[in-house]
């Protein structure tokens, strides 16, 4: 799935090193409710078992710069609910230097088109820490609407953080 500068592609065995670095960076653990490192073997198994979203209820894509063929992050559909035609979406741009370049915007646009036009989803939703202004702005600029706040939802260190819920309804259905 191609955009102007990035493409979303399936996981490949060569992605193991990038996944290992991203998944084992403790700064990102709150994004996935993780509290421990992952082994290379576990991640290798995850790559090999990447399955149909209708079977596993999740799907991960690698975000790759088209011109450089370089992986810069990943995008996930998870908590897929085929009955209600919705899924949660999450995104990570791994390197600070690749952030604020518009890559996340492009990747999320590609993902929404895929979700709505190919998978037939009615909505996408995400959860973002309330103090993560850049991510909230990213999703709101793409048409996601705030629909709630979970108070004291995520514990980071000794501090409890609020989380905002955002959703994007498929406007082409109406």
Q: What is the pLDDT of residues 76-103, one digit of tens each?
A: 999 999 999 999 999 999 999 999 999 9
Return all residues near 51 (Cβ < 8 A) that are at least 6 apart: none
Query: Is 75 part of a structural domain of the chain?
Result: yes
Query: Is 162 part of a structural domain of the chain?
Result: yes
pTM of the entire structure?
0.86
**56 band by pLDDT with thresholds 50, 70 and 90:** confident
pLDDT of residue 51: 65
Alpha helices, DSSP H only, in 24-157? 40-48, 53-56, 103-113, 133-141
Contact 108, 87 (CB under 8 A): no
Nearest Cα to 75, choosing from 115, 48, 35?
115
Query: Is 83 part of a structural domain of the chain?
Result: yes
Query: Is 117 part of a structural domain of the chain?
Result: yes
pLDDT of residue 91: 96
Query: Is 71 part of a structural domain of the chain?
Result: yes
Query: Is 106 part of a structural domain of the chain?
Result: yes
Query: Is 163 part of a structural domain of the chain?
Result: yes
Query: Is 1 part of a structural domain of the chain?
Result: no
Q: How many domains does the chain have?
A: 1
Q: What is the pLDDT averaged over residues 11-36? A: 74
**Coil, helix or strand for 33?**
coil
Each residue of 88-146: pLDDT tens digit? 999 999 999 999 999 999 999 999 999 999 999 999 999 999 999 999 999 999 999 99
CA distances from 118 to 55, 67, 114, 146, 147 (A): 16, 26, 5, 25, 25
Domain span at residue 126? 6-173
What is the distance between the alpha carbons of residues 81 and 87, in angstroms, rounded to a whole number? 6
Element (H, E) at 23: helix 16-23
CATH of the domain at 35: 3.40.630.30
């Amino acid at each position: 799935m191609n955009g102007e500068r990035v493409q979303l592609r399936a996981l490949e065995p060569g992605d193991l090193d990038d996944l290992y670095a991203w998944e084992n960076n403790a700064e990102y653990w709150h994004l996935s409710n993780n509290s421990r490192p992952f082994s290379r073997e576990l991640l290798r198994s995850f790559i090999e078992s990447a399955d149909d979203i209708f079977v596993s209820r999740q799907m991960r894509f690698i975000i790759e710069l088209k011109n450089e063929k370089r992986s810069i992050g990943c995008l996930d559909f998870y908590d897929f609910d085929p009955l209600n035609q919705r899924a949660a979406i999450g995104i990570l741009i791994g390197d600070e230097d690749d952030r604020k370049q518009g890559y996340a915007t492009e990747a999320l646009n590609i993902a929404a088109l895929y979700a709505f036009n190919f998978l037939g989803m009615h909505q996408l939703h995400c959860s973002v820490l309330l103090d993560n202004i850049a991510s909230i702005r990213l999703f709101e600029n793409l048409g996601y609407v705030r629909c709630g706040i979970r108070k004291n939802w995520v514990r980071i260190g000794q501090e409890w953080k609020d989380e905002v819920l955002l959703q994007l309804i498929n406007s082409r259905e109406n």
